[in-house]
């Protein structure tokens, strides 16, 4: 079947629109149940979501559940994830969907599902909402990878249910949602056992899965419901109540006014012109308030929506230009409000955590990023983190020295990268003397020459050179191979320290990107192409 040229994808949803998930609440425990409707795929008529497989539509809803749980249900301490199908928890990503989708969609789909699962882990670590996989049926491929993102995994012992990662033997690709990395880095499973597990298509039932630490426990069918209830109660008993007013903070869907080239959000504008997208963030003079519409949350929700839309719907865009407009003082006012209130108010803490996750999405964009600091900008503290995500930062050197940048305490670790480093540390390759020199200027407004001397910008150019130099840099960037640029950028952005999360985005994404293009996977007789067909795949056995 030929690749499908998909229409633009929309990522906003809410509980009233869910098709594939049901969520119920019982005191401190939420039950999230996968109930995939086979006749409701992302694109009707292309494939069926059989065997509890999922596509992007299913994961868009799951991502929304994870985010809303944190803001709208602060009372929840344990989230049990199960399936409406009593034989199959989840069979992973839908193979016909992958087989007929463009290469770039496959890679972006894997990245999106990775970000959803990292959000689950982030909620467990930072939000006091422990996710537990209640596998009431077989979990294979992406289904087991969803379970691996949970803090604990329990499998029903009914003689049939198993866990498996069959991508290598059955499909000729890798588990696309962090499975390999979570086996070794999270569950600390030995390399030989991991090797055996990942090449055994049928996987392991409860006894062996428990022996090899692939699950944390099992219950027979007769004791399943009571057993999982007790697990949830025990975990909930170890988690403290949140600080502050526990009233739900209902998240409205993010909207924008769009025309052919421009998306106008309340605090953000995106202009798409051929292969360049210019993202301009605006500050707000409004007083910070404990509301879902406050600038610190809504602007970052708008930024997240824009980034995901650019990632999936605008593949030719190769360069993001980041700009800001407004008052540095207003940015610092909102920033200080978050910092002062986050320790004592769960909602403000969730705002801070959401800002950090969105900035990591910017880090993960497989597009070049240039930040342009020009007159009228407000690259200070929180917004300067966006510039630090960039591959280059150009600053206009104005005669009256009004164009400035400013570091604040927000740059000292409030928004860690995937590897745990600050973006300042990543900028200076963790050289402590350079980091200390930069932080010695916290609270100072630095003009272009000072910012250049501190290493905070790539170049400072006056009115004679700025326009031409930036234009040349942009034209040069757009002339390079996008494949080479993606590989270069990801290597340079994530230098130094490694952890599970940045291995998933860097190492796994890079290899999956390559494997998804190889004939052994997607050629005429590749394993992904021949899935569920009577003929066997034909491999080129030469290793490269």
pLDDT digits over 15-42, tens only?
999 999 999 999 999 999 999 999 999 9
**H/E run at residue 93:** strand 92-93
Segment holding 8, helix H or strand E:
none
Q: What is the rounded average pLDDT of the residues 201-207?
A: 97
Looking at the domain assignment, is residue 184 inside a domain? yes
Which residue, 433, 449, 479, sits at the end of a domain? 479
| Residue 7 included in any domain | no
Q: For 94-103, 181-190, 362-371, which range has the lowest pLDDT when averaged over its residues?
A: 94-103
State the residue for tokens 């999982």: 228
CA 538 to chain centre: 35
pLDDT for the residue 509: 67
- For residue 528, being part of any structural domain is answered with no
Same domain, yes or no, for 225 and 284? no
Q: Are residues 278 and 154 in the same domain?
A: no
Question: What's the whole-number average pLDDT of the chain?
Answer: 94
Q: How many domains does the chain have?
A: 2
Q: What is the CATH number of the domain that holds 469?
A: 3.90.226.10
Query: Token digits for 450?
Result: 């000072």
Residues 279 and 151 in one domain: no
CB 394 within 8 A of CB 469: yes
Residue 278 shares a structural domain with residue 170 = no
50 or 312: whose pLDDT is higher? 312
193 and 280 in a single domain? The answer is no
3-state secondary structure of 101: coil
Does one domain contain both 168 and 80?
yes
Instruction: Domain of residue 56: give its range.
Output: 15-236
The reported pTM is 0.95
* pLDDT surpasses 80 at 4: no
Q: What backbone phi and psi angles, to 5 degrees, belong to 200?
A: -105, 100
- pLDDT digits 0-9 by tens, 480-520: 999 889 888 988 888 787 888 888 887 766 777 778 888 88
What ranges in 325-366 are assigned the alpha helix state H? 328-341, 346-363
User: For residue 366, is it within any domain?
Assistant: yes
Looking at the structure, do residues 220 and 268 belong to the same domain, yes or no? no
Same domain, 343 and 431: yes
Q: Is the pLDDT of residue 2 over 60?
A: no
Assess if residue 168 is contained within a domain: yes
């Amino acid at each position: 079947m030929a690749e499908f040229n998909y229409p633009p994808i929309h990522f906003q949803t809410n509980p009233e629109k869910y098709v594939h998930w049901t969520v119920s609440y019982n005191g401190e425990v939420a039950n999230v149940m996968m109930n995939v409707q086979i006749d409701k795929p992302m694109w009707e008529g292309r494939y069926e979501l059989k065997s509890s497989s999922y596509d992007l539509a299913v994961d868009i809803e799951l991502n929304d559940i994870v985010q809303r749980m944190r803001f709208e249900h602060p009372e929840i301490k344990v989230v049990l994830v199960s399936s409406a199908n009593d034989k199959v928890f989840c069979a992973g990503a839908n193979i016909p969907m992958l087989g007929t989708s463009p290469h770039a969609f496959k890679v972006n789909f894997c990245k999106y599902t990775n970000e959803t699962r990292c959000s689950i882990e982030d909620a467990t670590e930072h939000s006091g909402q422990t996710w537990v996989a209640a596998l009431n049926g077989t979990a294979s491929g992406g289904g087991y990878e969803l379970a691996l993102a949970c803090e604990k995994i329990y499998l029903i012992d009914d003689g049939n249910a198993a866990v498996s990662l069959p991508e290598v033997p059955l499909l000729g690709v890798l588990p696309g949602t962090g499975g390999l990395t979570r086996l070794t880095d999270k569950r600390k499973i030995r390399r030989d056992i991991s090797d055996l597990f990942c090449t055994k298509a049928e996987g392991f039932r409860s006894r062996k899965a428990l022996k090899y630490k692939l699950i944390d426990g099992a219950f027979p069918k007769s004791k399943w419901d009571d057993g999982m209830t007790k697990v949830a109660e025990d975990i909930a008993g170890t988690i403290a109540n949140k600080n502050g007013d526990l009233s739900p903070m209902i998240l409205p869907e993010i909207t924008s006014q769009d025309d052919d080239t421009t998306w106008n959000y309340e605090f953000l504008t995106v202009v798409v012109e051929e292969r360049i997208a210019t993202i301009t963030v605006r500050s707000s003079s409004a007083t910070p308030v404990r509301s879902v519409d406050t600038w610190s949350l809504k602007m970052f929700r708008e930024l997240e929506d824009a980034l995901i839309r650019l990632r999936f719907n605008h593949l030719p865009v190769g360069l993001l230009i980041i700009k800001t407009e407004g008052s540095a003082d207003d940015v610092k006012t909102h920033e200080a409000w978050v910092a002062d209130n986050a320790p004592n108010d769960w909602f403000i803490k969730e705002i801070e955590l959401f800002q950090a996750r969105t900035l990591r999405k910017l880090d993960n964009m497989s597009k070049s990023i240039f930040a342009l600091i020009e007159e009228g900008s407000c690259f200070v503290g929180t917004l300067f983190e966006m510039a630090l995500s960039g591959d280059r930062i150009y600053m206009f050197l104005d005669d009256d020295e009004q164009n400035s940048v400013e570091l604040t305490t927000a740059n000292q670790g409030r928004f860690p990268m995937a590897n745990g480093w600050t973006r300042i540390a990543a900028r200076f390759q963790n050289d402590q003397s350079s980091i200390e020199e930069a932080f010695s200027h916290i609270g100072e407004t630095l003009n272009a020459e000072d910012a250049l001397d501190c290493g905070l910008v790539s170049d400072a150019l006056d009115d004679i050179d700025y326009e031409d130099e930036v234009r040349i840099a942009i034209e040069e960037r757009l002339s390079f191979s996008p494949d080479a640029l993606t590989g270069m950028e990801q290597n340079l952005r994530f230098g130094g320290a490694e952890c599970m999360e940045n291995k998933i985005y860097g190492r796994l994404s890079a290899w999956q990107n390559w494997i998804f293009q190889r004939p052994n996977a997607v050629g005429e007789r590749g394993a992904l192409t021949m899935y569920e067909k009577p003929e066997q795949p034909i491999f080129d056995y030469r290793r490269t």
